[in-house]
């Protein structure tokens, strides 16, 4: 069951990641007369109202708002896909642990869940900004949610790599 979930979620993550990268390429395409191209992560991590306004104005001038909205729309599917992938992989790696630290390792399962919650909150903030109803607080909070999401996903990779290494070592020891 976990292997099937990991494979299905991995395929969904890969498919959606390619779609999201293509959309981001359309968003961030450089145009004459504009400082630089802005991808969706630029808005996620703008942190200041001036920067967010500059990004949104650039997208409006270049008629790229539909690409930003499509990117956010696809992210609603990407969120559960990466949550399931991270969770399934982590459970697969740690299922054979007979360690006193197993409860601690299980706590790391909260990372993809919290990252998903922060991602949803960040998407709502970006929709508010694109709608024109967000202000300085929205920009800052959206940036904080994005930073927390990226930090949690990066931090999850550390225990996953350690767990993978421990699981490989345990398998080598148990083999006849």
Q: Which residues contact 16 (CB under 8 A, 6 or more apart)?
A: 74, 77, 78, 81
Structure tokens at 63: 């008629």
Q: What's residue 48's pLDDT? A: 94
The number of residues in the chain equals 176
Q: Are 148 and 111 in contact (CB under 8 A)?
A: no
Whole-number average pLDDT of the chain: 87
Q: What's residue 175's pLDDT? A: 45
Q: Are 39 and 75 in contact (CB under 8 A)?
A: no
What mean pLDDT do residues 1-8 have? 92
Q: In Å, how far are 60, 80, 135, 144 from 65, measured between CA atoms?
A: 6, 24, 18, 23
Evaluate if residue 65 carries a pLDDT over 70: yes
Q: What's residue 131's pLDDT? A: 94
pLDDT band at 176 (very low <50, low <70, confident <90, very high): very low
pLDDT band at 33 (very low <50, low <70, confident <90, very high): confident
What total of structural domains would you count in the chain? 1
Considering the domain boundaries, does residue 34 fall inside one?
Answer: no
Residue 14: alpha-carbon gap to chain centroid: 13
Considering the domain boundaries, does residue 23 fall inside one?
Answer: yes
Write down the number of H helices and E strands in the chain.
Answer: 7, 0
Evaluate if residue 96 carries a pLDDT over 70: no
Q: What's residue 36's pLDDT? A: 64
Return the HEC string of 127-155.
HHHHHCCCCHHHHHHHHHHHHHHHHHHHH
Q: Which helix (H) or strand (E) holds 113?
A: helix 110-131
Considering the domain boundaries, does residue 115 fall inside one?
Answer: yes
Considering the domain boundaries, does residue 60 fall inside one?
Answer: yes
pLDDT, tens digit (0-9, with 9 covering 90-100), for 119-167: 999 999 999 999 998 888 999 999 999 999 999 989 888 877 776 676 6
């Amino acid at each position: 069951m976990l292997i099937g979930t990991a494979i299905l979620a991995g395929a969904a993550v890969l498919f959606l990641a390619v779609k999201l990268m293509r959309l981001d390429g359309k968003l961030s395409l450089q145009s004459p007369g504009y400082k630089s191209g802005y991808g969706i992560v630029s808005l996620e991590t703008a942190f200041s109202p001036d920067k967010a306004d500059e990004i949104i104005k650039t997208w409006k001038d270049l008629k790229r708002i539909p690409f930003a909205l499509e990117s956010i729309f696809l992210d609603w599917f990407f969120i559960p896909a990466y949550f399931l992938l991270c969770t399934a992989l982590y459970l697969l790696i740690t299922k054979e642990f007979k360690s006193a630290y197993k409860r601690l390792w299980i706590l790391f399962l909260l990372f993809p869940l919290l990252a998903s919650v922060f991602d949803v909150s960040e998407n709502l903030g970006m929709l508010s900004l694109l709608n024109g109803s967000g202000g300085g607080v929205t920009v800052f909070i959206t940036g904080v949610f994005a930073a927390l999401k990226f930090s949690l996903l990066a931090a999850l990779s550390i225990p996953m790599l350690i767990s993978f290494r421990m699981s490989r070592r345990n398998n080598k020891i148990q083999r006849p």
